[in-house]
A and B are shown apart, each in its own frame.
Chain A
């Protein structure tokens, strides 16, 4: 009875007849009980075989991992519960009662529920490497992860993964005599992987439910199923060079890869006749091409009592859609891009940001302005149907250049490290007032941009936020939502974390039988040190920046 929920339910389900009050939900407590249990079993046999004879080295692993996770859950609710005596009272779930406040008919909420889940996984993997004379290596690996995915054909329950490669240990050749880099190795691999998207199924799938009006079992189709569902097939060719300088002062690797994907999952237009209840579904609609460079560099700058290590990662990617068999109208391209669904367009990155060209605000009304056939326009329904040529293509929605720089200083037992990460070459769409003024939504929270909107002539000089308009004009709102006014560069450099620790000298501790004692502190998400946008936005976080966490700890080893 202390809870609002309890009092509210009792009040709602009170009927009045000639000043006689009947409590259909009995006066008393409401006890909600929930029980969940999870049981997990894992089996992992693994077989290693390696041998060396003469100039030959063979190394191989064969393994299997089998895992099962079972979950069971029960929820139940007791009405009119008295904790003193553990007695609860019966209610009638079958009758609909008029709600006290508005007379609409409702059943007393029935909360009893049982759930059962089973997740099973099998991974089979094999690795094989043969080296001749410590110079040439031939390697191959294969792996197949399978699970009890629902609604797909048996051969799609598992995802295959394989690669073959060769390596040449150049520094072991007799002719090699570079003293600056005593270790140098070139390698090339070709790998293939399949991918399946859990959210789509090949067979029509459904969920068991109940018809709450009639209290009979019901089944609801959740996914009509796409019989053409296939794996994504991605082939990657890797060429790399590993190097280490004398005394290991500089080490690292540089790698170039080229990637080709077929049957890539993407959103595409589908006729309502397919039965999905929507016009946009996911399928194997795209082909992609891409390439990239990864550079990993470790430098030991100081190696005295004070040590200073630098670890740097630089990545560059470039990918484009080479084909999309379900390329849709421009409106969909921009509409879906807004919801971070990829709706690929040939010749553009898989995830791209497009917008309608924004031409400021009307200086009399504060209406957003666009460009139609080269002229400033307020014809929002036409602006919302711009052709592809009229769109602004800003760039990728995911970074093209990214990486990190970690500096570690250590001096005796103390160690300090901090990590900077950078992401460049991509764009985001800012959040804006959600579906404003469409209905009487005074109760809902709205975006703070609303308070900086255009209110009087002249405001267009200081704000890009359109005036309030009533009645709600969804095309005007949609145009602004999709206009370049809300697109920002997402480039930024972030101070990711600081790690400070001190390890106490062992000799003192050993006397009290402690083999290790360490104090540490870790600060995560320190902040953005540079960003291209002037809206003070964290491009990776939407409107609410990630929380800075600070941790202190003591690590004791006995």
Chain B
């Protein structure tokens, strides 16, 4: 019987030996994290080269900034070939092969990061010690959500039209981390409203400017707002935002001080940058993406952009080398910079009739782009004239910034600026007329079938 007592004692001690409940709570690898602290959240926002400050530059593939020769086009992956000549309803939909699907997936993964932070930050008390970090993190998460959804709506959403925006198809606005929360496509109007809401909420939380260019700031929010209001054709608000941005940050590079012998002349994180973001890689852009001939020939010889932006391949062909990320068109700079804000500001002034202001702003910008003392300032005769010249300078300054596609989407609505894009491949010519439904890329088939999303009309 004594044996049995001993047995019971031992049994008891064995089952209770795991006294410390947290013995199994230790991380198997020090580098693993379950994000719960402000430091973790800031780390997620700073995961720059990994995901967050990457831009979905998918739209650049369809734009008119570059062209491919037939031989180079033939060497592309099939999906990119079809995007190049706007046969975008051709769907493959196997994630390994379909850039449309992988770009779509990436957008939601990046938005997930923001949603996670926004859900969890409420569990971290905001105190007098951590208030600055707390605000920056929350503001940053809101900014990034707006950033990625803007790219989404410009890629897959139908073109914004005031009259029909309430019923036109935007993107699904997923605002939680719950994997079961599958949302339908919202309207174009709802999509932009959500983006604007996030940005306005982020505004008071962010610092005026940021020491790290990958971190959003008030200046970045204003710069982005001015871009969005321009897309929405709300020129008053766009102008106001542009001026707010420039009040906080307005450094311009003097192109005379840029070393043209350096293969990629512009440094990353340079002074003109308000917010850094860079594109992802596509085969189409990574080699032999020759800059549009009309564009290349539009620069004056004394215009330093003609040298600093391009690598001369032969008498006619040039490649782009002028990204603010020390790179060509792939991995290019897709962030926000002072030049864009000034061009938007000038356009808005021209549109509301103050073309003299527009003239001053454009001249101030271009003075820094030309060889010293060679610049011949613009003198606009009227708003019409101002618009035409500003839009051309916009093209000449902001190439491979992911903006041209959105500019085509908005400008095509105005018969004065509407263009038909053309791609020639051998003897074949492909066209994309203004306001073509293909200005909205098709929703990946797998989401149409699996999540019941409505595909874009064709």
- Is B81 part of the binding interface, using a Cβ–Cβ cutoff of 8 Å? yes
Interface residues of B in 36-93 (CB under 8 A from A): 39-41, 43-44, 46-51, 73-79, 81, 90, 92-93
- Interface of chain A, helix or strand or loop or mixed? mixed
B396 at the interface (CB under 8 A from A): no
Residues in chain B near residue A271, CB distance under 8 A: 182, 447, 450-451
B25 at the A/B interface (Cβ < 8 Å)? Answer: yes
Which single residue of chain B is at the shortest CB-CB distance from A120? Answer: B24
A506 in the interface, Cβ–Cβ < 8 Å?
no
Contacts of A472 in B (CB 8 A): 75, 77-78
Name the CB-closest residue of A to B51.
Answer: A220
Encoded as 1 (CB less than 8 Å from any A CB) or 0, chain B from 112 to 151 comes to: 1101100000000000000000000000000000000000
Residues of A within 8 A of B326 (CB): 96, 104-105
- Nearest A residue to B115, CB-CB: A275
Query: Does A475 sit within 8 A of B, measured CB to CB?
Result: yes
* Given contacts A117-B30, A216-B212, A471-B81, A148 and B25 within 8 Å (CB-CB): yes
Contact A220 B262 (CB under 8 A): no
Q: Tell whether, in the assembled complex, residue A273 and residue B183 are in contact, meaning their CB atoms are under 8 Å apart.
A: yes
Any chain B CB within 8 A of the CB of A443?
no
Number of interface residues of B (CB under 8 A): 83
Q: Which residue of B lies closest to A212 (CB)?
A: B49
A116 to B116, CA, bound (A): 27
With A206-B33, A329-B446 given, is the CB distance from A219 to B112 under 8 Å?
no
**Docked CA distance A354–B106 (Å):** 30
Chain A: interface size category: 35 or more
Report A-chain residues with C-beta under 8 Å of the C-beta of B73.
471
Report the number of A-B residue pairs with Cβ-Cβ less than 8 Å: 243
Give Cα A203 to B283, complex, Å: 35
CA distance A103 to B50 in the complex (A): 23
Q: Does A226 contact B (CB under 8 A)?
A: yes
Q: From B49, B327, B449, give the contact of A213 (CB < 8 A).
A: B49
Q: Tell me, rounded to whole Å, the shortest Cβ–Cβ distance linking B271 to chain A.
A: 16
When the two chains form the complex, which single residue of B26, B30, B178 contacts A227, counting CB atoms closer than 8 Å? Answer: B178
Contacts of B444 in A (CB 8 A): 272
Instruction: Indicate whether B299 reaches chain A with its CB closer than 8 angstroms.
Output: no
For A48, give the chain B residue with the smallest CB separation.
B7
User: In the assembled complex, which residues on chain A have CB atoms less than 8 Å from the CB atom of B74?
Assistant: 470-471
The reply to whether A49 and B179 form a contact with Cβ atoms under 8 Å apart is no
Closest chain A residue, CB of each to CB of B73? A471
- How far does the alpha carbon of A273 sit from the alpha carbon of B451 in the complex, in Å? 9
| Bound CA–CA A335/B17 (angstroms) | 49
Q: Contacting chain B: which of A276-284, A287-295, A396-404? A: A276-284
Contact A213 B48 (CB under 8 A): yes
Say if the beta carbon of A439 comes within 8 Å of chain B: yes
Contacts A103-B263, A146-B24, A471-B74 given; does A209 touch B93 at CB 8 Å: no
Q: Is B297 an interface residue (CB 8 A)?
A: no
Q: Is the pair B28, A208 in contact by a Cβ cutoff of 8 Å?
A: no
A214/B214 in contact, CB under 8 A: yes
- Interface status of B414 (Cβ within 8 A of chain A): no
- A550 within 8 Å of B (CB atoms): no
Most buried by A among B78, B212, B214, B262: B78
Determine the chain A residues whose CB is within 8 A of the CB of B446 once the complex forms.
Answer: 269, 279, 329, 332
Evaluate contact between B28 and A148: CB separation under 8 angstroms: yes
Contact partners of A233 in chain B: CB under 8 A: none
User: What sequence of 0s and 1s flags, for each residue 194-218 of chain A, a beta carbon within 8 Å of any chain B beta carbon?
Assistant: 0000000001111111011110111
Cβ-based interface call for A553 (8 A)? no
Which of B97-105, B354-362, B380-388 is the contact stretch?
B97-105
Which residues of the partner chain B approach A228 to less than 8 Å between Cβ atoms? Answer: 179-180
Known pairs A276-B105, A331-B93; list 14 more (Cβ under 8 Å): A98-B264, A122-B24, A150-B32, A209-B50, A211-B50, A221-B35, A224-B109, A271-B451, A272-B101, A329-B449, A335-B94, A381-B90, A470-B74, A471-B73
Some 16 contacts from A to B, beta carbons below 8 A apart, are A45-B17, A96-B268, A104-B264, A104-B327, A115-B29, A120-B24, A124-B18, A149-B28, A205-B32, A206-B40, A213-B49, A227-B178, A269-B450, A278-B95, A279-B105, A335-B94
- 5 closest Cβ contacts across the A-B interface? A103-B263, A275-B112, A219-B43, A277-B109, A274-B179
